[in-house]
Homo-oligomer: A and B are copies of this chain.
Amino acid sequence: MVTLKDISKHTGLSVTQVSRAINNHNDVSEATKKKVMKAVDELGYVPNLAAKKLASKNEKSIALIVVGFEKQHSTNDMLIGIMSGVFNCTSENDTETVLYLYSEKFLKQKSYLQFCRERGVSGAILCGIKRDDPNLKELIKSDLPMVVIDIPYLTENIGSVVIDNEKYSYLATKSLIEGNRKKIGLINGSESAYVSIERKAGYLEALKDFGVEIDESLIKDGEFSRDKAKECARELVSENVDAIFCSSDLMAIGAIESIKELGKNIPEDIAIFGFDGIALVDYITPNISTIRQNSYDKGYKASDLLIQHLKNKTPMRVVKSDCEVCIQQSSEAKKK
């Protein structure tokens, strides 16, 4: 292994000066820098991050903690999006990202906090976390700066990146109404989930604004499950809805299956609108109208928020990530 000492010997300069040259400090003569760089090339020097980290207080790194992924799951594409957003932003900022894939199925998993401490990260990004995660509480108490994705949270040193669920549910519902749908069902997630509450609110708001009567019996709880959504859709069909807004694409897929099984046509008889924008929506027939989240953007913004906070003491915020209203075949307008 080539070390600074080797460069030092090779150039006749002190180790300190070599270190300064390599890190491009401005109190080093151009001549020295050149000489050092030449030696670096010749000897193939590569810095030792562990040593840097140990010696310097400001070797920057953050943890990306990912929970609730599955081996083979249709929503994993969003995860990769978030990850690449985070990694790209950190690499632009010369910050190291350490990934913690947390699964209780894995042996020897440690708490989020311990993971962060061991690695001496200066902040963390949390993704896929549930509000009541006990590990989360511990992290929060530790006052390590962190950014939570998808749960609005805001304190001195905790920020978040979220989407405006209410707004986009409103827009989805509005689009259905404008497509001449009169009886619009909702297959929501689980009642306790934060996003479900918001998405339901947007749906109700739109109905109200456009003078569509609200009928509680058209609101079902699909528990974010494809199978549960199939059931809900069956019930809604028997209620003669002509549109269903689903609080997730996965549930929209279930609904579509049900409706097809019942011999109804989409979108002629019933329009479907999903939420999330997973890759699947473009592979299903009919293509599913959806609210397309920008996972990459969420990851990037989370990382940016954290890094700005770390670097410049920028106050934490609740940052919004925009979505795209993506109207496809499944919700084409009905002829009057």
Query: Is A283 within 8 A of B253, CB to CB?
Result: yes
Q: Does A72 contact B (CB under 8 A)?
A: yes
Query: Is A74 within 8 A of B296, CB to CB?
Result: no
Q: Does A109 contact B (CB under 8 A)?
A: yes
Q: Does A71 contact B (CB under 8 A)?
A: yes
Which of A77, A79, A253, A296 lies at the interface centre, i.e. has the most chain B CB atoms within 10 A of its CB?
A77
Task: Given A46-B117, A48-B118, decide whether A106 and B88 contact each other with a Cβ distance below 8 A.
Answer: yes
Q: Does A80 contact B (CB under 8 A)?
A: yes
Query: Is B80 within 8 A of A69, CB to CB?
Result: yes
Residues of B contacting A91 in the complex (Cβ-Cβ under 8 angstroms): 106-109
Task: Scan A71-97; emit 1 where CB is below 8 A from any B CB, else 0.
Answer: 111101111110111011001101001
Query: Is A80 within 8 A of B74, CB to CB?
Result: no
Stretch at the interface among A8-16, A26-34, A50-58, A169-177: A50-58
Q: CA A85 – CA B72 in complex, angstroms? A: 11
Task: Given A78-B72, A94-B108, decide whether A54 and B46 contact each other with a Cβ distance below 8 A.
Answer: no
Q: CA A39 – CA B160 in complex, angstroms? A: 36
Residues of B contacting A74 in the complex (Cβ-Cβ under 8 angstroms): 77, 279-280, 283
Interface size on A, residues (CB 8 A): 55
Q: CA A147 – CA B24 in complex, angstroms? A: 36
Tell which of B71, B76, B87, B285 touches A76, judged by Cβ atoms closer than 8 Å. B76
Query: Is A84 within 8 A of B98, CB to CB?
Result: no
Tell which of B53, B71, B97 touches A295, judged by Cβ atoms closer than 8 Å. B71
Tell which of B49, B109, B280 touches A280, judged by Cβ atoms closer than 8 Å. B280
Report the minimal beta-carbon distance from A97 to chain B, rounded to whole angstroms. Answer: 8
A contact residues vs B (CB 8 Å cutoff) = 46-51, 53-54, 69-74, 76-81, 83-85, 87-88, 91-92, 94, 97-99, 101, 103, 105-109, 114, 117-120, 253, 257, 260, 277-280, 283-285, 295-296
Please list 28 pairs of residues, one from A and one from B, whose beta carbons are closer than 8 Å in the complex, sorted by A's number.
A46-B114, A48-B54, A48-B118, A50-B51, A54-B54, A71-B81, A71-B296, A72-B78, A72-B80, A72-B81, A72-B278, A72-B296, A73-B77, A73-B279, A74-B280, A76-B80, A79-B80, A80-B80, A84-B101, A87-B106, A91-B107, A91-B108, A92-B107, A279-B280, A280-B280, A283-B284, A284-B284, A285-B285
